[in-house]
Structure 1
């Protein structure tokens, strides 16, 4: 066999415990708050993840493939006004990966050829938004918005097309640029990076071609047929912002896979700094999700003039779901906030076998990393309490990069309930500022964002294209 699978097909970590779906949509305005919510937090914390509505086959179910459910908590003037959960419904598909705001809209996002679904601020109505058909090959789960221009940059892929597409939307939601990039084997491109001058394309060894070879050989494949590909290179492509495929420069990087980028920025000497969460391999032993390899925060120093790449691990803990202050996207940053991986935050030491984990991806405490000093701070939410992806929210007139709050959903296995927890981003070792107690659990999913009232257009769903 090209790739060996050691787990049995009947086992599926991603349908058990808090990965298991919830059956019903919930609405409530009866929310208890412990502590005091900052009155400046006026908006919605939205989170999304897979939540299959129908019975699925554990032997073939892949965590990334479940239909989406969005969860929303409305905060205003120091009060938690409501919590609502809704299945993502549209005439075409149900995105499950990310939910964010752009051009006054709330958008639920997926990848691999599917367009965004627009959601009204009360989560009541949903409809596909494809900018009058100009997003013909879909979009991505991880666009990057330039904080200065407001342009949203995306690297999109679609298994029905050989070309990957670079797309730029302006701050009004209009498509202002596209360029197709031909790539071999149909690689999975979950994320991308953006600097002031360059877009970074991640062409890494998880491909559709390897999945098809496995299926043709009669070997186990999930319903998301992207697997580790020993034949495919690991490289990044550098494209000028607003550029075309003819301008791309390919540079070989250490052999690995990257789901998520912390940030990237240009250096005065023309080199590029790229901070990523790297896996030695994925979809090789764990065919249902990203387990099987311990994720590590690393910095790639890339010299386009020579093609040299230097890799250095940052921090003391294994982490995933990286976040920075979004005002520094594409610019030099110091701090990153993460979900620690492992029930107690897996400290990286010489006796940790980085190539193996027990079961699938398990998050734990909150981890803050200082990328300048390489030191980490850790916030434990309590026994059997683990965080999902954090979101950084800056204070108005912030005086520093970490002057703000961290919001995240915390799962409490003691009660099987969830909370929205607010921490001081500059001092995560302090106790929670506030905890919003939610009426049920929120399954482990993917991404969540704070969307302030100032970023959305109230009223009916309209097209701005």
Structure 2
């Protein structure tokens, strides 16, 4: 007998875990690099109460839970998971976690400020950067590797909002620039791009649905955990370019390919004044499937933004479907060669494959993928039957000269044991056996984003 999937984002490893745990002295297979001194942290939605069984539950709509693994001197000292909680009862960012200005920050988009989390994960408080982030922050700010500045472009998830907000925060955590950028229709702006000289803003055809927003505001049972953004045929698809630290008067818009982009791999300036920008693009999202981004498979694409000609051209770079793109942090806004991704589907789906292989209306994680943007070469690490990963994190080796000299860290779920591992791979040779596997005391649900946070970024 075939079981019916009630809600794919509440089953299997998408399902929430019920409690917080702390476990020390984790077992390790292999040898952890002694240079890895810090914390690997991930955050994602972890619905509780009625939302945990709601057929209408949307993957994006739940309180956040942070999962952390502490590594030091070749040992895995602890695993901890904690619900994220700001100063207000319902303030629980669930989308990304990073370090900036000596703070560990959990992020969510749509108009809510970050939550600052202590390194031991046991103390939390809302942090709005002296009011600069009171109106929110993006899930994917970009940190310039030279200046340490954090650049953020955020939207306000509220009917009638007619602008994005661009904020720059210096390396110490002080806001140095803010600007309002007018846009119509409350677009979903999940990511942005930063080059050495410019900021790229995404204004794509997923916007606030007034009907869905009204259902959410009414609190009626049928609204469940509904996310009130929908594919909007009449909304333009465009990118905006402005100088770093620029204002609305300097913003120029260019028509872009008709699609939606959740995640940008990277962007950089070219000598001729154009911008190269690599993205994971979807033909549509939230048009056919409303509980998560699963209308179609995502594709890796290269956009060339040419302000002189007023054009944005597109090249599909691979026939493998990939998401959750990452580069080395020192290459943000600079030319890159390699990208690391989570593959879609347990075997790594190709764009020509039947979209119905995407599990029951959700994007099912798969292998780890390394892509060479110069040669087009794909390298894949399959973790074994029933073992899949999501987003990789690249950690450069101290003193590294090659772009891929370092380690890839990612959480792998094992369906046979229903537990997870933190797996360390050689970033230059991802097809090789893992360098180390840290065995976690429970599964880490498929979530959104995470990062390696070195000790010198936040301390003890």
| TM-score, with structure 1 as normaliser | 0.93
Q: 1:60 to 1:348 in 2, by over 3 A?
A: closer
Are 2:430 and 1:456 equivalent residues in the alignment? no
Of 134-143 and 364-373, more deviation after overlay is shown by 134-143
Counterparts of 1:313 and 1:326, CA distance in 2:
24
Tell me, yes or no, if the aligned pair for 1:159 and 1:186 is still in contact at 8 Å. Answer: yes
How much has 1:53 moved relative to structure 2? Answer: 2.3
- Of the three residues 18, 34, 44, the one matched with 1:39 is 34
- Alignment partner, residue 94 of structure 1: 92
How much has 1:33 moved relative to structure 2? Answer: 0.2
Counterparts of 1:258 and 1:156, CA distance in 2:
15
- Alignment partner, residue 59 of structure 1: 55
- Alignment partner, residue 319 of structure 2: 316
Are 2:281 and 1:278 equivalent residues in the alignment? yes
Of 104-113 and 11-20, more deviation after overlay is shown by 11-20
- Alignment partner, residue 71 of structure 1: 67
Are 2:368 and 1:370 equivalent residues in the alignment? no
Number of equivalent positions? 448
- Of the three residues 262, 272, 286, the one matched with 1:259 is 262
- Alignment partner, residue 242 of structure 2: 239
- Alignment partner, residue 3 of structure 1: none
Please give the secondary structure, in 1, of the residue aligned with 2:171.
coil
Report the RMSD for the aligned CA atoms in angstroms. Answer: 2.0
Please give the secondary structure, in 2, of the residue aligned with 1:14.
helix
Please give the secondary structure, in 2, of the residue aligned with 1:72.
strand
CA shift digits 1:380-420 (9 cap, x unpaired): 00000001210000000002000000000000001000000
Are 2:252 and 1:249 equivalent residues in the alignment? yes
Q: 1:242 to 1:48 in 2, by over 3 A?
A: same
Please give the secondary structure, in 2, of the residue aligned with 1:455.
helix
Tell me, yes or no, if the aligned pair for 1:395 and 1:405 is still in contact at 8 Å. Answer: yes
Q: 1:196 to 1:313 in 2, by over 3 A?
A: same
- Of the three residues 139, 142, 147, the one matched with 1:141 is 139
How much has 1:348 moved relative to structure 2? Answer: 3.3
Tell me, yes or no, if the aligned pair for 2:213 and 2:228 is still in contact at 8 Å. Answer: no
- Alignment partner, residue 171 of structure 1: 171
Please give the secondary structure, in 2, of the residue aligned with 1:396.
coil
Counterparts of 2:351 and 2:287, CA distance in 1:
22
Tell me, yes or no, if the aligned pair for 2:322 and 2:343 is still in contact at 8 Å. Answer: yes
- Alignment partner, residue 423 of structure 1: 425
5+ unaligned residues in a row in structure 1: which ranges?
1-8, 459-465
- Alignment partner, residue 192 of structure 2: 192
- Of the three residues 290, 295, 298, the one matched with 1:292 is 295
| TM-score, with structure 2 as normaliser | 0.94
CA shift digits 1:41-85 (9 cap, x unpaired): 000000110001222162331101111000000000000000000
How much has 1:136 moved relative to structure 2? Answer: 2.3
Please give the secondary structure, in 2, of the residue aligned with 1:55.
helix
How much has 1:119 moved relative to structure 2? Answer: 0.4
- Alignment partner, residue 109 of structure 2: 111
How much has 1:223 moved relative to structure 2? Answer: 2.0
Tell me, yes or no, if the aligned pair for 2:54 and 2:225 is still in contact at 8 Å. Answer: no
Please give the secondary structure, in 2, of the residue aligned with 1:75.
strand
5+ unaligned residues in a row in structure 2: which ranges?
none
How much has 1:354 moved relative to structure 2? Answer: 10
